[in-house]
Each structure stands twice: as C-alpha cells, then as structure tokens.
Copies of this chain bind each other. A is one copy, B any other.
Amino acid sequence: MSDILIVGSVAFDTLRIAGCIHNKILGGSATYAAMAAAYFTRVQLVAVVGTDFPRSAIEMLAKRGIDLAGLETVEGQTFHWEGAYNDDLGSRTTIRTDLNVFADFQPKIPASYRSTPYVMLGNIHPELQFQVLEQIDRPRLVVADTMNLWIDIGREALCRLLERIDVLVVNDEEARQFSGEKNLVKAAKTIQKQGPSTIIIKKGEHGAILFHEDQIFCLPAMPLDSVADPTGAGDTFAGALIGYLGRIDQNSHVAFRKAVVYGSTLSSFCVERVGTKGLESLQVEDIYKRFKQFEKLVSFPTDPDSF
C-alpha cells in the first residue's frame, strides 16, 4: 500500500439544483478526490483555504485519515464557486467564481510528501501543476486533471505538463478541444503522443473510456434512478482511481481497468447526494456491492454461437 498526494482546490460551492439552493457547502476538486481516495489508502492533501474555513470541515477530513500538513490557511476568504444546473442535470452554468485566497495559490509541498509515489494533480493552472512536480522526487505515477479554461489560456504550460505525467483525465469535450480531433479515439491517440501513456475520458452519465497504451476499456456509468447532484463526480472518479492504484501499488493494464471501475463506483455514490454527503459515510461493503453491480451491469454470455 502506497500513499498518495493530492493537490487541488478546497472550496465552498453554492449549488442551485432542482429548485433548491445549497449555500456554501464544502466542495473543491481536492476535497472530492481526497475523500474518495481515502477509502483506499493514506492521502496527503495540498491546498489552500481562508480563515473562514470551518474547524468542523477540517475535522471531518482529518477523521478520514487525510493528512492535512499541506493544507495552508491564509488570511482571507476560501475559494467560492456558484453554479446552477439545468433540469436534467446534464449541464450547468457558472453564476460566480470568487477565487479569494485561491487566486495566489502556490502549492508548497511539505518535505514529508516529497517522495510520495502516487500523485494526483487536481484541476488547477497547469503551470502550478508543473511546479508541484518540480518540488518532488519522480513519483511512480502522476495523474492530472484539467479543464477547458486551461486548454484556452494555458495550452503551452499544459503541453509541457503532458510530457511529465502518466495519466490525463479529461471529459470528452476537453479531449476534442485540446486535440482538435472530433473522433474520441483519434483525440486520445493524439494526446498520448504528447506524453501520457494513459488517457481517461470521462463522459458523465455515459461512463468513461480508458486508453492505456494501445488498449481500450469502456465502462458505462451505473444507471441510477435518482441523481441529486453531479458536482465533484469527475474529481471523485480520479481520486478513487489513484487511491485504488496506490493501495495495490500496481500500474498494470488490468489494475487500470479495475481502478476505472472503482472510480465509477465512488462517482456513483457521489452523485446520489448533494455535495460531499455521498462520500461521507460509505462502508467497505457498500463499495464492494456496487463494484459487483458494475460486473453484473456489463457482463454477457461469451459462449460461442454457430452461424
């Protein structure tokens, strides 16, 4: 079992969903990723919060075994994002983004984290993601997330980052935007040529596709009859993915396939409740059970037919 290091945002989210406003609840890419990963292994968190960040949230994270030596508290307000979801939760609009203390975030990696073998670079400016790698020993595996904004305004830094990472996690639009290829298989191959041997394309309710070297694995999302809030599903996916790889300390192709299933498992729990609630009180048995549901969801008889 290896430790993992997660760098990203810890934030407050205000969410407008299905006629309700959830005001300033706990959010942020690193929060979701760390909470998901903590079900699998020991997690070290590097992020910044303001002096308004509540003790109770710190305690909730610490209680899960998340190492908070890298969680910096800075005078000012915590990053705040407000978004509104459309009726079918398929898309969302940003209403406001208050970067606050996150505006000047410079990830500082504590000395005790520098040889952590598994590293997750959450969705922050690729220049900052790069700076993280400059502060640490060469890890066994680096996973990075990104977003359309950085593809637009930080492409050069992103290209430099790609040469240093093993796994890029993006959604389908981002993969198309970055590669200039409409076809997702071509898009993934194009990105692989720029560095990462593994590309994972997240497609929300349509599941995920793993491109690992020259192999492809597709997993549909678990069909749920009630989705409360898609916020953080992608970060949860990535957190559980690297958490599982860290736990088994393997990067083989089959390990990646299983990691995608665990990523999807934790994501499916995440979206069933608002904010981080769905990740707060899972039991190991719940995780096992849903993993087995994925097996049942996609399996079919493979005995040969004669024609």
List A residues at the B interface (Cβ < 8 Å).
Answer: 39-40, 87-89, 176, 182-186, 189, 203, 205-207, 209, 216-220, 223-227, 244, 247-248, 254, 257-258, 260-261, 284, 287-288, 292, 295, 297-302, 304-305, 307
Residue of B209, B224, B301 touching A223 (CB-CB under 8 A): B209
Residues of B within 8 A of A39 (CB): 307
Closest B residue to A176 by beta carbon equals B88
Asked if B223 contacts A216 (CB within 8 A), the reply is yes
Count the copies: 2
Cα-based distance from A183 to B225 in the complex (angstroms): 6
Q: How far is the CA of A189 from the CA of B225 in the complex (A)?
A: 10
Q: Given the complex, which residues of B lie within 8 Å of A176, measured CB to CB?
A: 88
**B300 touching A257, Cβ below 8 Å:** yes
Query: Which of B182, B186, B216, B288 is the one whose CB lies under 8 Å from A87?
Result: B182
Write the chain B residue with the least CB distance to A88: B182
**Considering the chains assembled together, what is the distance between the CA atoms of A248 and B301 in angstroms?**
14
Known interface pairs A217-B297, A258-B301, A297-B218. Does A186 touch B225 (Cβ–Cβ under 8 Å)? Answer: yes
- With A183-B227, A184-B205, A209-B220 given, name 10 new contacts (CB 8 A): A88-B183, A184-B223, A203-B206, A217-B300, A218-B297, A219-B298, A220-B220, A247-B305, A257-B301, A295-B302
Known contacts A182-B87, A206-B206; A216 and B248 CB within 8 A of each other: no
Most buried by B among A40, A220, A223, A300: A300
If the complex has contacts A87-B182, A182-B88, A220-B220, are A301 and B225 also in contact, measured as CB distance less than 8 A? no
Docked CA distance A40–B305 (Å): 10
CA distance A220 to B216 in the complex (A): 12
Q: Compute how far the CA of A218 lies from the CA of B88 in the bound complex, rounded to whole angstroms.
A: 20
Whose C-beta in chain B lies nearest to the C-beta of A89? B182
Q: How far is the CB of A19 from chain B (nearest CB, A)?
A: 13
Tell me whether B183 and A300 are in contact (CB under 8 A). Answer: no
Complex Cα–Cα for A205 and B201 (A):
14
Which B residues touch A182, using CB under 8 A? Answer: 87-89
A-B contacts, 11 of them at CB < 8 A, read: A88-B176, A183-B224, A183-B227, A185-B225, A203-B206, A209-B223, A216-B297, A218-B220, A219-B300, A257-B299, A257-B300
> A121 to B95, alpha carbons, bound, how many Å?
47
CB <8 Å contact, A40 and B307: yes
